[in-house]
Amino acid sequence: MQDPMSGPPMLSHYEVQTLTRAYRQGRGQVQVTPDLGRTQVTVALDEAGVRFPGGARLAWDQAQEILAHPNAVFAWAGGSTWERVRAFSDLTGRVVSLYPTGRAPTMLLSGIPMHRVRNTDPWRDTQAKVRALHPRGRVLDTCFGLGYSALQAARTADWVLSVELDPAVLALARRNPWSAPAFAHPRVRVVQADVARLVAGLPADFFSAVLHDPPQFALAGELYGAAFYAQLYRVLKPGGRLFHYVGSQETKMGRNLTRSVMERLRAAGFAKVKPVPQAFGVLARKPR
Ligand SMILES: C[S@@+](CC[C@H](N)C(=O)[O-])C[C@H]1O[C@@H](n2cnc3c(N)ncnc32)[C@H](O)[C@@H]1O
């Protein structure tokens, strides 16, 4: 497939391995993805480096630099300059960056990945969460992140309201080829806000489903609290469903967190509260 690239080409060590291998094999051109696996282009290889359609160039010493940073994604910034795709958040004081997986990247928040990457990839990790929820009607996606949950929920939902606290995360997502479609999706509305505050101003009995995919407890404890769960309960319609990502239930800490989340959800009024280990979360329903 030879789709035109939107945005500057992006590379990680995965693609650079393809490029250096092809050059070592004496090839003058090779197919590579310029957008982290969404499309393929043919690039030219010579002793100076790699030439992309559209003018981007990668010198071989820059290729070595990318290989030396396997946790980073680099974007072309003109000439033979490639810069890491990352941002500093003035709001949280944390660095956010794209982390390559060979497919859809995840985001590192202070070095912590925001999706599962072991034995899966961020897109498939999100599919497990969204499948567990079966989103229909109006959906609240509490934590936009890279927008994978918003985009996947929008396949079956009428409308998705997705909330992200951090402007730096939104800026990073706009640069990520896998996230960018969320900003133009006719059934996805992205809002920059603290969901704990925003939800208090939303109407009662409004959403058919809530997808709650917060950062780890240590980074966002209030999103695991009774007051927030009471608000999620309030904005759900009777019969509405909540999927709450919690994390691995295989460790003692994970099981304890899951148990305490389930107790607080029941205390907030939720029924049919049950763990969904394959999606690393908990499903709950507002009684009719
Ligand atoms: C695990 S990630 C969400 C991943 C997302 N569901 C996806 O598909 O890419 C959690 C996100 O919640 C955001 N966040 C943290 N606290 C928040 C809050 N109070 N309100 C809204 N978003 C918040 C973080 O900045 C981070 O981007």
Q: Map out the domains of the chain as residue ranges.
A: 10-84, 116-285
Which DSSP helix (H) or strand (E) runs through 207?
A: strand 207-212
Q: For residue 183, what are its two tokens?
A: 């900003």
Distance 144 CA to ligand 1 centre (A): 5
Q: How confident is the model at residue 251 (pLDDT cuts 50, 70, 90)?
A: confident
3-state secondary structure of 41: strand
The ligand 1 atom nearest the CA atom of 141: 6
Average pLDDT over residues 204-220: 95
Distance 203 CA to ligand 1 centre (A): 22
Q: How confident is the model at residue 218 (pLDDT cuts 50, 70, 90)?
A: confident
Please name the fold of domain 116-285: Rossmann fold (3.40.50)
Query: Does 121 sit in the ligand 1 pocket, CB within 6 Å?
Result: no
Q: Are 237 and 207 in contact (CB under 8 A)?
A: yes
Q: Are 107 and 114 in contact (CB under 8 A)?
A: yes
* pLDDT over 90 at 79, yes or no: no
**CA-to-CA distance for 263 and 151, rounded, in angstroms?**
30
Q: For residue 80, what pLDDT is reported? A: 80
Distance 187 CA to ligand 1 centre (A): 19
Per-chain mean pLDDT for the chain? 95
* pLDDT over 70 at 5, yes or no: no
* pLDDT over 70 at 1, yes or no: no
Average pLDDT over residues 250-260: 92
Q: Are 225 and 264 in contact (CB under 8 A)?
A: yes
Least confident of 79-83, 167-171, 210-214: 79-83
Above pLDDT 90, what percent of the chain?
Answer: 91
Query: Does 151 sit in the ligand 1 pocket, CB within 6 Å?
Result: no
Query: Does 281 sit in the ligand 1 pocket, CB within 6 Å?
Result: no
Query: Does 195 sit in the ligand 1 pocket, CB within 6 Å?
Result: yes
Q: Are 34 and 52 in contact (CB under 8 A)?
A: yes
* pLDDT over 70 at 204, yes or no: yes
Any idea what DSSP says for residue 15?
H
**CA-to-CA distance for 274 and 281, rounded, in angstroms?**
9
Residue 189's DSSP bridge partners are 161
Sheet of 95-99: strand order equals 86-88, 95-99, 106-109, 112-113
Query: Does 62 sit in the ligand 1 pocket, CB within 6 Å?
Result: no
More confident residue, 20 or 111: 20
Average pLDDT over residues 77-90: 93
